[in-house]
Structure 1
Amino acid sequence: MSERARAVAKLLVLAAGLVVAGLLLRWLGAMLGTEWVDRRIRGQGLWGEGVFLLVGMMATAVGIPRQGVAFLGGYAFGAVVGTGLSLLAQLLGCALSFGWARLVGRGWAERRLAGRFGRRLRPLRDALAASPFGATLALRLLPLGNNLALNLLAGMAGIAILPFVAASAIGYLPQTVVFALLGKGIRVDGAWQLGLSALLLLGSIAIGFALLRRHRAGRALEE
């Protein structure tokens, strides 16, 4: 296959992936909720856990907020099991969108970085490339930002997947615990779970901002 044919094939895969992601985002966004959990997940044993894991992975991969996945995990399975399953689903979704961007999106990204959008994206891309673990951890600990956008940017930057996923796991954990506790607290009307989740969220935000002030990724975001 010629170089031009490979470029066209990658462009077609990129376009198809965007269309599929958009359709999945619309479908999953309409489907997910506590009613779906009550009907399809809770009380279904391993089958329910497997369905939740698969749907949570797809939801995270196409851009549904990972905090929503954690909330439903806590609602369905309780704080401990819900945190574990939600975290695994988030990491699988993270790796899926990262891998897709790395396989088909790097050439497209380089052209965008060389154009008028590069001035904004290049500093953050360079921060990720220089320190994949540290920059990813600092960015994951913040409640602001876009999880999918960071997955795609990291994949397009060509950084190693292991430090990226490892830092994502650590950075995801505080908010995953927070929202799993919220889901559990809503289901059982548990005031202490709701209070603890609020304190943990404030703590994770403070740590994230402290890391960003010290890290190159923070300066890139400010720019």
Structure 2
Amino acid sequence: MRARVIVKGLALILSLALLGYLFESSDLGNSINETWIDARVRGHGVNGALLFLLMGGIFTAIGLPRQIIAFLGGYAFSIGLGTLLGALAGLLGCMLSFGYARLFGKGLLRARLGERAGRFDRFIHEHPFAMTVLVRLLPVGNNLLTNLAAGISSIRPIHFFAGTLLGYLPQTLVFALVGSGVHIAPALKLALAIGLFLISGALGAYLYRHFRHGQSLDAQIDAALDETDKR
């Protein structure tokens, strides 16, 4: 992967770690806690979890980075529950944008995303579940555009949603860890998050290079992974 891809991902981790510090140590953190997380989610049991899922799904469906939702999940819950709910919220957002594209947006989106949807179709044709997992592991690409392109492609929803959920888990764990209040040294927590992020991204890049069967998902992804555009 190019250095800029790694730097972009690490910058997001560091910025969220700083936000977590502000949550715990400043008046800004107190106001944020009172207005949403602490007032609406944390300590509110099933109702709080359902609200988190709903809001996380809606915001990711319209383009909010799912990593932010994962961070908030780690902050509001434990690492394990925050990872699970963060991944499910991201999946709900995926289902909403995918469903919109499939049911209502084909005419509107075909002109804009038709070529991308065609590449997506060719890329996942032989192994739709496994290749969707691969796409979600990559630390590059646009999550919303992928959902919309998949919605106007021929992929079966069950393959796309199942692959999405599995592929979301590694990065969700990373950002839930950054946002969590787990009682370990902040430097160690940050080091663990960075290490997991690099491992997840490297695995996705390796699989992309070796199992894409000559197909290109996105020229920008190829460029980011130092691949030659073969279209």
Instruction: Please indicate the TM-score interval, normalised by the length of the shorter structure.
Output: 0.7 to 0.9
Letter of the 2:103 partner, please give it. Answer: L
Kept in 1, the 8 Å contact 2:120–2:153? The answer is: no
Kept in 2, the 8 Å contact 1:128–1:217? The answer is: no
Report what 1:140 is aligned to.
136
Q: Using a 3 Å threshold, how does the CA distance of structure 1 residues 96 and 52 change in structure 2: closer, same or farther?
A: same
Point out where structure 1 has 5 or more consecutive residues left out of the alignment: 1-32
Kept in 1, the 8 Å contact 2:117–2:150? The answer is: no
Report what 1:220 is aligned to.
217
* TM-score normalised by the chain length of structure 1: 0.74
Structure 2 Cα separation of the partners of residues 44 and 137 of structure 1? 33
* TM-score normalised by the chain length of structure 2: 0.72
Kept in 2, the 8 Å contact 1:123–1:220? The answer is: yes
Q: CA deviation at 1:112?
A: 4.5
Q: CA deviation at 1:173?
A: 0.4
Q: How do 1:139-218 residues align onto structure 2 when only pairs under 5 Å count?
A: 139-185=135-181, 190-214=186-210, 215-216=212-213
Q: Which protein has the bigger helix share?
A: 1
Structure 2 Cα separation of the partners of residues 135 and 67 of structure 1? 21
Q: CA deviation at 1:63?
A: 0.9
Q: Using a 3 Å threshold, how does the CA distance of structure 1 residues 158 and 107 change in structure 2: closer, same or farther?
A: farther
Percent of paired sites with the same residue: 46
1:100 aligns to 2:100 (yes or no):
yes
Report what 2:20 is aligned to.
none
Q: CA deviation at 1:174?
A: 0.2
CA deviation map 1:73-92 (0-9, x unaligned): 00010201111111111111
Kept in 1, the 8 Å contact 2:118–2:153? The answer is: no
Structure 2 Cα separation of the partners of residues 139 and 201 of structure 1? 15
CA deviation map 1:173-220 (0-9, x unaligned): 000000000001589764433221111111000001001102148633
Structure 1 Cα separation of the partners of residues 178 and 214 of structure 2? 30
Q: CA deviation at 1:127?
A: 1.5
Structure 2 Cα separation of the partners of residues 189 and 78 of structure 1? 16
Letter of the 2:105 partner, please give it. Answer: G
Point out where structure 2 has 5 or more consecutive residues left out of the alignment: 1-30, 223-228
Letter of the 1:180 partner, please give it. Answer: A
Kept in 2, the 8 Å contact 1:185–1:191? The answer is: no
Q: Using a 3 Å threshold, how does the CA distance of structure 1 residues 174 and 191 change in structure 2: closer, same or farther?
A: same
Report what 2:21 is aligned to.
none
CA deviation map 1:23-42 (0-9, x unaligned): xxxxxxxxxx9533133221
Kept in 2, the 8 Å contact 1:75–1:186? The answer is: no
**SS of aligned partner of 1:158:** coil
Kept in 1, the 8 Å contact 2:101–2:109? The answer is: no
Alignment length, in residue pairs?
Answer: 187
**SS of aligned partner of 1:219:** coil
Report what 1:53 is aligned to.
53
Letter of the 1:124 partner, please give it. Answer: F
Larger RCO of the pair (alpha carbons < 8 Å, separation 6+): 2
Kept in 2, the 8 Å contact 1:53–1:89? The answer is: yes
Structure 1 Cα separation of the partners of residues 164 and 191 of structure 2? 25
Q: Using a 3 Å threshold, how does the CA distance of structure 1 residues 66 and 113 change in structure 2: closer, same or farther?
A: closer
Q: How do 1:13-28 residues align onto structure 2 when only pairs under 5 Å count?
A: none
Report what 2:90 is aligned to.
90
Kept in 1, the 8 Å contact 2:57–2:90? The answer is: yes
